[in-house]
Structure 1
Amino acid sequence: MLTTILAAGSTAAKGGNPYGLIPALREGGLISQTVFGILVLMLFVSLYIFFTKIFEQQKIINQAKRVRASFWGSNSLREGAAKLEKNSAYRQIVDDGLQAQEQYKELTDPVEAHDWLHGSLSRSEATINSALGGGLAFLATTGATAPFIGLFGTVIGIYRALIKIGAAGQASIDAVAGPVGEALIMTALGLVVAVPAVLGYNFLQRRNKSIAEALNAFSNDVLGYLASDGRVKPSTGVKKAAPAKPATPAAGVKTGA
Structure 2
Amino acid sequence: MDTVSTTQGLAHFLAQSDAVGKTLLALLILMSAASWAIIAGKGVAQYLRQRRSSEFLNHFWNASTLDEVRHEISTHGARDPFSHLSAHALHAQVHHARHGASRLAEAGSASEFVTRTIKKVLDEETTRFESGLTTLATVGATAPFVGLFGTVWGVYHALLAIGMSGAGTLDKVAGPVGEALVMTGIGLAVAIPAVVAYNAFTRSNRVLAGRLDAFAFELHSFLTMGEAPGAGQQQLGASVRPLKPVPQQAQTPASA
> Does the alignment reach a TM-score above 0.5?
yes
Gap change, CA 1:201 and 1:234, over 3 Å in 2: farther
Gap change, CA 1:176 and 1:232, over 3 Å in 2: same
Cα deviation for residue 178 of structure 1 reads: 5.0
Match of 2:81 among 80, 86, 89: 89
1:74 maps to 2:63: yes
Matched residue, 1:205:
202
Gaps of 5+ in 2: 232-256
Q: Percent of counterpart pairs with the same letter? A: 33
Given that 2:140 and 2:192 are in contact with CA atoms closer than 8 Å, whether structure 1 keeps it comes out as yes
Cα deviation for residue 78 of structure 1 reads: 3.9
| Alpha-carbon distance in 2 for matches of 1:64, 1:88 | 6
Matched residue, 2:191:
194
TM-score, structure 1 as length reference: 0.78
TM-score, structure 2 as length reference: 0.78
Given that 1:117 and 1:223 are in contact with CA atoms closer than 8 Å, whether structure 2 keeps it comes out as yes
Q: 1:34-53 alignment to 2 at 5 Å?
A: 34-53=23-42
Cα deviation for residue 17 of structure 1 reads: 2.2
Matched residue, 1:4:
none
Matched residue, 2:238:
none
Matched residue, 2:249:
none
1:220 maps to 2:217: yes
Equivalent AA in structure 2 for residue 125 of structure 1: L
Equivalent AA in structure 2 for residue 90 of structure 1: F
Equivalent AA in structure 2 for residue 212 of structure 1: A
Gap change, CA 1:21 and 1:142, over 3 Å in 2: same
Matched residue, 1:232:
228
Greater helix proportion = 2
Gap change, CA 1:50 and 1:210, over 3 Å in 2: same
C-alpha offsets along residues 174-205 of structure 1, whole Å, 9 cap, x if unaligned? 64355313311101001111111111101100
Equivalent AA in structure 2 for residue 56 of structure 1: A
List structure 1 segments (4+ residues) > 4 angstroms apart after TM superposition: none
Matched residue, 2:149:
152
Gap change, CA 1:81 and 1:66, over 3 Å in 2: farther
Cα deviation for residue 173 of structure 1 reads: 4.6
Q: 1:1-257 alignment to 2 at 5 Å?
A: 17-83=6-72, 85-86=76-77, 87-105=79-97, 106=99, 107-108=101-102, 111-173=108-170, 175-228=172-225, 230-232=226-228
| Alpha-carbon distance in 2 for matches of 1:197, 1:39 | 12
How many equivalent residue pairs?
222
C-alpha offsets along residues 149-182 of structure 1, whole Å, 9 cap, x if unaligned? 0011011111012201220223135643553133
Equivalent AA in structure 1 for residue 45 of structure 2: E
Out of 113-122 and 189-198, give the one that drifted further. Answer: 113-122
Cα deviation for residue 233 of structure 1 reads: 6.8
Cα deviation for residue 138 of structure 1 reads: 0.3
Cα deviation for residue 102 of structure 1 reads: 2.8
Gaps of 5+ in 1: 1-11, 236-257
